[in-house]
Structure formats: C-alpha cells, structure tokens
C-alpha cells in the first residue's frame, strides 16, 4: 500500500498566492493599515486573474475599470500587480503610465521594494532586482529579460515596450481635467506613445477614476464605436452610490455612509458624477449656483479670518472701448476652513467663502488708480492685496505695485489655465451653500453677474473672486470644526442620479 504524502498547508497557501492576485496582495501586504476587501476589490482581482490566464493562452485583453478615488485601485494595479506579473513572467516587460512621471516613479519604487521583501521571496525566490539596472524609471530582473518602466503622459516611451501595460490616474486635478490642451496631450500620448508599445500578445489595463466626458476613458469609449479597428476594451464601472449595493454605497468595509455623503456634498453634482459615480457629464448652464448663497450682517462674520482683496482691472483697450465696457473690481474675501463633523471620519478641510465687500466701477485710469489707493488705505495693512499677472494682464501687477508703492505690497497671482478652469474649484463651494456675503448694496450685482457666468455679459467679479481665492487658499486661517448637520446633508443624495 502506497501512502500519498500530504502537502503542507503553507505550500498550498503560497501556491494560491502565486496564482491569484488577491491572495498575492494578502500575502505580501506591507502597509500598517489593513487590506480592506470590498466586492469591487475581489471582482477586479478575479478579472486580472482571467486576463493573466488569457495571456498564457496567447490572447490579448483590453480592460477599462472605473473606480472612485480612495477605493484601493493603485494598490491593486500599480503597487502590487507589476511585482506579481514579474514573478510569473520574469522575461516580460511592464509599462506603467500616469498623468505625471513623479507619480508613476513612486509606484515603481513601491514595486521594486516589494520584490526585495521576505514575503515576496517566499513566493518567487529567484526574482531579484538587477543592481546594475535599478532606477525608478527603469529597472530589470537579474538574469532575465523582464523589466519595469514607469512614465508620465507626454514623457518618452520610445524604446520601451510592454506585454503588460497599466494606466493609473489620468489627471492630477480638476483644473487639468478641464483643460482641453492637457486632455488632448494625454490622449495623443496614450494612443501614439503608449498603445503603440504593446507586444503581439499583451494585457492593457486602465484602472482609474474618470474626470471628464472627453478624457482618455471618454475618448476611448467613443473611438470603440466610431473606429472599428480601435482596441475593443471591456468597460466596467463601480459607482460609489447604487441601489444594487446592500448598503447603498460601494465600499462599506472601509468607508461609512457619512464619508460618502460629505464627499458628495463637497464635490457638488458635477464632481460627484465623475469622481464618485464614474459617469462624467458635460457641463450645462452656468457654473456658480447662487441660490444657496447666504447673506449675513457684519456682526455675524467669524473672528480671526484672514482677508484679502483681489483686483481685476479693466485696463486693456479692448475692455475699455467696447460697447459694454468691463468693470474694474476689487473683491474682499476670507476663507474659513472647517473640518467636517467628527463622525464623518474625513480629515479633509472644507472651505467656506466670506465676502465682505466688492468695489466695482467703470473709471478712467486716474480715477481708477485713486480708488484702488483709497480702498487700500480704508482696508488697512491686515488686508492683503493681489492681482493677476497672466496673459494680457502681465503689466497689471507692475501697475498695481506702482499705485500702492510705499503703502502696500501687492501679490502677483499666476493661476493656471483660463478663467473657466480657475472657477471650477469654486463650483462645489457654491453648490454646497458655503458662500457667505456681508449684507451690502453690492450684493445684488454680485449675485447676478457671478450667477450668470460664463454666459453673462461680464466676468469681472468672477475674476476678482478667483484672484482672491488663489491668493488666500495657500494661507489658511485657523481651522474650526463644522457642526454636524446630518439630515440636511443627506437629503437628495442617496439614490440620486448624479
């Protein structure tokens, strides 16, 4: 009688970790915080396992998986998948791309260090990083042909190929996502540089959060319909809110309901549609909703705020001689940063805008300059002064500095993008009802002009607001704690169509 020797349990567990990506992550997990596993985590890892098996069988696969921010996507594909793949296929190339080289290099560094850990070596003892080729942008597997390349969109990909191509994080922030120039650059880099690097049999995976209807994901979905030979990606989306989830939201294993609801309130409808629901919508109508703006008496203004006045000067000939001339505007703003209620578990501060005063008029240069100087004297030294110095306004800063010479220093504000892009971060603040005006005769004109932007006749007050915002947001006032308002905050969010 021949007895079959039992396979040790530890060997079975290690074999499971080699074969299945989720088990691999659990075995090699390095963070101090636990590995939270939601239904989407398991599904994504299973789909990766299927794509790996297809690759073994000589089949290529193309996947786009849309997931909200902070839901573990970078751990799955950018920090743990490359080491796993190189353990299985040490002679293959991996190409990891993101919006910027710094981010992709950081992921690459995580992967390189993971291979050096004891836990990884238990699974793949023959896989070592070549000490002579170990830069974060390109490192190789000793004794094999395999390597890891990490790049940013717009960076050099010539000479780098892939059997396994990964895209994680397609935009740095909302301002970049709203820039048609950056979206075009990223699309060209994705199609002309990234996709052309793939081998005859490959796996191409985009696991990312969509930002815009016209970003890489949106354009790829459109191209699949319009161009029959374009790679036919399988597209899967995991929205944050859905009636199909037992709890109503995607990842209760990590985030409670309050986290989702306060994030949605802070993002506003437009931001929630893309970053939480993974279904971007086109902008429609005017951007800054003024129906929730609150008007207060001066005595109601919180103490210890830091005030600044942003100036937008109607100084160019085009602005002054047109049929409906633009205004010179000086808007006095303070930003009150509040932490959400403690029970939300969110540490990200929420801005409230307080607008105390708006100086506005159509003045010839001498009168305009006198008003600017007079306003600075009335405001006092505690109110900082700033103006834009971009595009056609590059001389405005020098002129303002000359007007206030010896009286006040002037801050040069050089925000990126056009005004439409710079206004975008203020949209959820207005939508959340976190804009406060001190009662004054200027209130009506401010609400009308800002509420009409960008389709209204003038944008001067919007420009002054953005200038003050850019000037003050990096220099916050002391932070307070927002009082919990759970019921009003939840109204209309659960089950809503974002």
Segment among 232-236, 283-287, 440-444 with least mean pLDDT: 283-287
Percentage with pLDDT > 70 across the chain: 88
Residue 218 has pLDDT above 80, yes or no: yes
3-state secondary structure 133-168: EEECCEEEECCCCCEEEEEECCCCCCCCCEEEEEEC
Round to whole Å and give the CA distance between 329 and 310.
Answer: 8
User: What does the pLDDT look like over 407-422, one tens digit per residue?
Assistant: 999 999 887 777 888 8
- Alpha helices, H only, 69-123: 73-74, 81-88, 101-115, 118-123
Averaged over 222-226, what is the pLDDT? 94
- At residue 174 the predicted structure's pLDDT band, cuts being 50, 70 and 90, is confident
Residue 21 has pLDDT above 80, yes or no: yes
- At residue 390 the predicted structure's pLDDT band, cuts being 50, 70 and 90, is low
Please say whether the beta carbons of 459 and 328 come within 8 A.
no
Averaged over 164-186, what is the pLDDT? 92
Residue-level pLDDT at 158: 79
Question: If you count them, how many residues does the chain have?
Answer: 498
Please say whether the beta carbons of 96 and 78 come within 8 A.
yes
Considering only residues 287 and 383, tell me which one the structure prediction assigns the higher pLDDT.
383
Considering only residues 489 and 187, tell me which one the structure prediction assigns the higher pLDDT.
187
Residue-level pLDDT at 490: 27
Please say whether the beta carbons of 188 and 118 come within 8 A.
no
Residue-level pLDDT at 268: 83
Residue 240 has pLDDT above 80, yes or no: yes
Residue-level pLDDT at 454: 85
> Which residues, at least 6 apart from 241, have a Cβ–Cβ distance to it below 8 Å?
248, 249, 250, 260, 264, 276, 277, 493, 494, 495, 496, 498
Residue 317 has pLDDT above 50, yes or no: no
Considering only residues 286 and 245, tell me which one the structure prediction assigns the higher pLDDT.
245
Residue 83 has pLDDT above 80, yes or no: yes
DSSP string, 244-276: TSSSSBS-TTT--HHHHHHHHHHHHHHHIIIII
Question: How does the average pLDDT of the chain come out, rounded?
Answer: 88
Averaged over 104-113, what is the pLDDT? 97
Structure tokens, 77: 């594909």
Rounded to whole angstroms, what are the CA distances from 85 to 62, 152, 176, 474?
16, 21, 32, 42
Please say whether the beta carbons of 273 and 412 come within 8 A.
no
Residue-level pLDDT at 481: 46
Instruction: Identify each DSSP E strand in 287-327 by its residue range.
Output: 294-296, 307-312
**Strand-strand pairing, 61-66 and 198-208:** parallel
Please say whether the beta carbons of 356 and 301 come within 8 A.
yes
Q: Which residue segments constitute the domains of the chain, with CATH numbers given?
A: 9-238 (3.40.50.300), 294-481 (3.30.420)
User: What does the pLDDT look like over 392-406, one tens digit per residue?
Assistant: 556 788 899 999 999
Distinct helix (H) and strand (E) counts, the chain: 19, 16
Averaged over 162-188, what is the pLDDT? 92
What is the helix (H) or strand (E) element at residue 415, kind and residue range? none
Round to whole Å and give the CA distance between 424 and 462.
Answer: 11
User: What does the pLDDT look like over 62-73, one tens digit per residue?
Assistant: 999 999 999 999
Q: What is the model's pTM?
A: 0.72
Considering only residues 6 and 225, tell me which one the structure prediction assigns the higher pLDDT.
225
Among 109-123, 149-163, 281-295, the range with the most confident prediction by mean pLDDT is 109-123
Considering only residues 81 and 281, tell me which one the structure prediction assigns the higher pLDDT.
81
The position carrying tokens 């970790």 is 17
**What letter would DSSP give residue 79?**
I
Considering only residues 113 and 493, tell me which one the structure prediction assigns the higher pLDDT.
113
Q: How far is CA 199 from the centre of its chain?
A: 31
Residue-level pLDDT at 497: 32
User: What does the pLDDT look like over 455-493, one tens digit per residue?
Assistant: 888 899 999 999 999 999 876 555 444 444 433 332 233
Residue 377 has pLDDT above 50, yes or no: yes
Residue 339 has pLDDT above 90, yes or no: no
Averaged over 377-388, what is the pLDDT? 93
Residue-level pLDDT at 487: 34
């Amino acid at each position: 009688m021949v007895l079959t020797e039992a396979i040790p349990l530890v060997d079975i567990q290690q074999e499971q970790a080699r074969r299945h990506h989720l088990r691999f992550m659990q075995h090699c997990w390095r963070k101090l915080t636990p590995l939270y596993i939601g239904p989407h985590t398991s599904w994504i890892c299973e789909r990766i396992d299927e794509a790996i098996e297809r690759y073994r069988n000589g089949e290529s696969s193309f996947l786009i998986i849309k997931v909200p921010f902070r839901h573990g996507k970078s751990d799955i594909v950018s920090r743990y998948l490359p080491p796993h793949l190189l353990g299985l296929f040490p002679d293959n190339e991996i190409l990891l791309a993101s919006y910027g080289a710094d981010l992709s290099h950081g992921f690459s560094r995580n992967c390189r260090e993971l291979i050096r850990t004891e836990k990884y070596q238990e699974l793949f003892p023959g896989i070592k990083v070549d000490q002579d080729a170990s830069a974060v942008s390109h490192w190789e597997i000793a004794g094999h042909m395999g390597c890891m390349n990490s790049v940013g969109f717009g960076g050099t990909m010539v000479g780098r190929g892939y059997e396994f191509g990964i895209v994680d994080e397609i935009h740095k922030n909302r301002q970049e996502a709203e820039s048609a120039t950056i979206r075009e650059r990223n699309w060209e880099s994705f199609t002309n540089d990234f996709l052309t690097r793939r081998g005859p049999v490959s796996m191409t995976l985009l696991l990312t959060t969509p930002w815009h209807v016209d970003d890489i994901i949106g354009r790829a979905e459109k191209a699949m319909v319009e161009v029959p030979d374009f790679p036919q990606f399988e597209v899967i989306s995991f929205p944050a809110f859905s009636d199909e989830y037992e709890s109503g939201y995607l990842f209760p294993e990590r985030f409670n309901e309050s986290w989702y609801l306060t994030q949605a309130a802070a993002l506003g409808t437009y931001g929630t549609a893309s970053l939480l629901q993974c279904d971007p919508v086109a902008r429609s109508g005017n951007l800054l909703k003024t129906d929730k703006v609150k008007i207060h008496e001066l005595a109601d203004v919180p103490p210890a705020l830091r005030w600044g006045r942003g100036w937008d000067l109607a100084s160019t000939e085009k602005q002054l001689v047109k049929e409906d001339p633009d205004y010179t505007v000086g808007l006095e703003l303070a930003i009150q940063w509040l932490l959400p209620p403690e029970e939300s578990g969110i540490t990200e501060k929420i801005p409230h805008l307080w607008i105390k005063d708006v100086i506005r008029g159509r003045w010839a240069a001498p009168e305009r300059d006198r008003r600017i100087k007079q306003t600075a004297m009335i405001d006092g030294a505690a109110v900082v002064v700033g103006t834009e110095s971009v595009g056609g306004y590059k001389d405005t800063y020098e002129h303002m500095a000359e007007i206030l010479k010896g009286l006040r220093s002037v801050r040069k504000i050089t925000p990126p993008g056009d005004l439409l892009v710079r206004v975008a971060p203020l949209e959820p603040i207005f939508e959340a009802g976190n804009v406060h005006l001190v009662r004054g005769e200027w209130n009506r004109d401010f609400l009308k002009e800002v509420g009409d932007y960008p389709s209204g006749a003038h944008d001067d007050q919007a420009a002054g607001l953005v200038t003050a915002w850019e000037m003050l947001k990096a220099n916050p006032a002391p932070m307070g704690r927002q009082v919990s308002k759970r019921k009003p905050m939840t109204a209309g969010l659960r089950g809503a169509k974002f």
